[in-house]
Structure 1
Amino acid sequence: MPLIVTPNQLARRAEFYSQVAALLNAGMGMIQALEMIRHKPPASSYRAPLDHIIANIKEGSTFTDSLMTVGRWVPSFDLALIHAAEQSGRLPESLRLLAEYYQQRAQLVRNFMAQVAYPVFLVHMALLIFPTSLLPELVWQGQAAQFIRQKLTVFVPLYLGVFLLALGAQGRRGEHWRSLVERFLRPVPALGRARHGMALARLSAALEALVSAGVSIVDGWQLAADASGSPALRRAVAPWKARLQAGETPGEMVARSATFPELFSNLYNTGEVSGQLDDALKRLHRYYEEESSRLMSAFIRWFSMLIYLLIAAAIGYQVISFWKNYYGNILQGF
């Protein structure tokens, strides 16, 4: 997998699974389908893994075993779902579920990036404008070098810090950092609930896909918690396996866990008791996706307003300081 996962990479993964599912449904064999995709893959980086997978299938390996030979190119979540689908004979349907899952993840990331774009722009404008003492020298005296040097000392460490934070938060290697960020942001009004809602939406979508593919509910919860991206959810679900195998139900576990909201617990238990768990998980995914988007929008509105107020206060301070010094110099002349 790449260092940092982007929406386009998630969308290309969705396209790959969708193409394989469509070709299998059209009556093609797995080798023929993969060879056709290899000629025009979602991205050029797919050709080398596809060559390896095709060669292994020709030697007699299953699709799952062949995927496992390409290292971390395929996440463990995908492998578990595909393995269960091969055993149950529902591979095309499961590949479509994976395609929908990655398309939803890509859309979720795009929506988040669109929401934070304006506040990020405001922060950049504020960093460019202040300190204002450099602007007269830039405009009237043309001293661009000093202005550029000062801005580089601000933007380069800022971009480097954001890159390293994003890189460190990817996957298992960033578990400690992700946990710290989650604990730090959880008390923040709106933002903490929005991030937790996003994690619950991802967990619901992943669990619904796994259960529909035939993965056992015991393994499904562990894999879905990993797919949620939340260390808190992963820690809450990790001890469940032994108790689930002993006969307790996931609904009972969810009800006892403080990590899951009451709404999630009630709806999940209703779906579990009524035998309509897949429908309940779809509704949970839609609800938490919409709720987290609403909360994130509210947080961004208040954050943007705060940036506006800080810029206005700084400009007001500069104006007052200018006129105070101006009239002070005049009064000193009398």
Structure 2
Amino acid sequence: MIGSKDKARAAVYTQLAATQKMGLSLGKAVDRLVEKGGYGALMLADVRGPLLAGDPVEEAFEQSEAISPLEVKVIAAGAKAGSLPQVLANLAERYTQRAATKAAFVGKLAYPVFLLHLAILFPSIPLLVSSGTSAFLQATLIPLAVGYGVVFGLYVAYHQGKQRAPRALDNFLLRVPVVALIERRSSLADGLRALELLYANGVPVLESLASAREVTPNVVVGDLFERVAHRLADGESLGEAVALEDDLPDYVIELIATGSSTGQLDDMLGKANARLEEEVQTARSLLVKAIGGIAFGIAALFVAYQVISFWSNLMNQVNKIGGG
């Protein structure tokens, strides 16, 4: 199911947040979730022992391969700052939103996918009567197999590219129309969300920027966090450092500069992230509409080809009978 893993993570963090609000120790809360089994046990099994033994929160959560470095840093910062219930609730909200976004995007793709299947299956129905089941299956399964093969091939190529040549693949994605906007804005939103979560929980800005770069999905976009950190280390203000980044939208630069000067950086980062996510949603909707239009065009061409072929074959048979 699309987004099921994100929903499961959100549920785990929601339960942890609830137990922290009740005053239960983090070690006992983790122990309870592990005993319940399910995804909580998968996430936290390696965390339970170190926590119950009294190890620091960060060291304990680092033992789980199912928990990302960003989550580890945010949880450790929340525990240190005394805001762990809110941090856990924020993580739950983040994964709930991710699950909803994935489900909505896939749901919007259902219509163009349906059109393509209908275009292949419906015109071939007469073959069931005229030529039998084998002819129908041959006329439909081969195009469907080719289509599924192309999709699977693109999926494999993407993941192989991410493993072997991530920078080259990310550069390519940033040059594809519409996809580039989605890739740039969504990656930037992820990085800013990490920066917001860490900074709001007391992590120094330079360390927060380093973590933001690590979790940014597109490595090319993530480089900007490193450049900003270098400028800060050289003595520039945060507002001055981000103002030099051409890849940052003007409103992001303005919000960060305002937050830095007023002491409300975490709030301004939240607002910047919200606007970026709105842009991503709009761009994804446009992409789905474009895919729908292309699918409709392909379906229309395929149906036209099938109809023309049917009538052409029929006329040829009539002519042969008449000529005979």
Asked if these proteins are the same fold (TM beyond 0.5), I'd say yes
**Superimposed CA distance per residue, residues 74-104 of structure 1 (whole angstroms, 9 cap, x where no aligned partner):** 1111111122223333322222222222222
Match of 2:256 in 1: 268
After TM superposition, give the deviation of residue 234 of structure 1 in Å. Answer: 1.2
Counterpart of 2:23 in 1: which secondary structure? Answer: coil
Counterpart CA distance in 2 for 1:66 and 1:138 is: 63
1:284-295 to structure 2, matched below 5 A, reads: 284-295=272-283
- Identify the residue that residue 102 of structure 1 maps to in structure 2: 95
**1:31-180 maps to which residues of 2 (within 5 A)?**
31-41=27-37, 44-47=38-41, 50-70=44-64, 72-126=65-119, 128=121, 136-144=126-134, 146-147=138-139, 150-151=142-143, 153-155=145-147, 157-158=149-150, 160-165=152-157, 167-168=159-160, 174=163, 176-177=165-166, 179-180=168-169
Does structure 2 conserve the Cα–Cα contact (< 8 Å) formed by 1:138 and 1:147? no
Check 1:37–1:197 CA distance in 2 against 1; reply closer, same or farther (3 A cut): same
Pairwise CA distance, 1:61: 0.8
Equivalent residue for 1:14, pick from 10, 33, 36:
10
What TM-score, normalized by structure 2, do the two folds share? 0.83
Change (3 A) 1:128 1:159: farther
Gap change, CA 1:315 and 1:49, over 3 Å in 2: closer
Distance in structure 1 (CA, Å) of the matches to 2:184 and 2:172: 11
Q: Helix, strand or coil: the match of 1:73?
A: coil
- Give the whole-Å Cα distance in 1 for the aligned partners of 2:226 and 2:130: 63
SS of residue in 1 equivalent to 2:165: helix
Aligned equivalents of 2:194, 2:188: Cα separation in 1: 10
Q: Aligned partners of 1:139 and 1:195: how far apart in 2?
A: 48
1:124 CA displacement: 3.6
Structure-2 residue corresponding to 1:197: 185
Give the Cα separation in 1 of the matches to 2:287 and 2:151: 23
Distance 1:211 1:73, change over 3 A: same
- 1:201 and 1:239, CA in 2 relative to 1: closer, same or farther beyond 3 A? closer
Supply the distance in 2 between the matched residues of 1:219 and 1:6 (Cα, whole angstroms). 33
One-letter amino acid of the counterpart of residue 130, structure 2: W
1:206 and 2:206 correspond: no
1:273 and 1:215 map into 2 onto residues whose CA distance is 18
| One-letter code aligned to 2:74 | L
CA distance 1:218–1:321, change in 2 (3 Å): same
SS of the residue 1:74 aligns to: coil
Secondary structure (helix, strand or coil) at the match of 2:256 reads: helix
Counterpart CA distance in 2 for 1:128 and 1:267 is 52
Deviation at 1:186, TM superposition (A): 3.6
Q: Is the 8 A contact 2:116 2:296 kept in 1?
A: no
In structure 2, distance between residues paired with 1:234 and 1:120: 33
Pair 1:139–1:236, CA change in 2 (3 A): farther
* Deviation of 1:113 (Å): 1.9
CA-CA distance at 1:286 after TM superposition: 1.9
State the Cα distance separating 1:237 from its structure 2 match.
Answer: 2.4
Amino acid at match of 2:138: Q
Contact 2:78 2:201 in 1 (8 A): yes
Provide the secondary structure at the position in 2 that maps to 1:80: helix
RMSD after superposition? 3.1
Task: Name the amino acid aligned to 1:66.
Answer: A
Per the alignment, in what secondary structure is the counterpart of residue 257 of structure 1?
coil
CA contact (8 A) 1:56 1:66 kept: yes
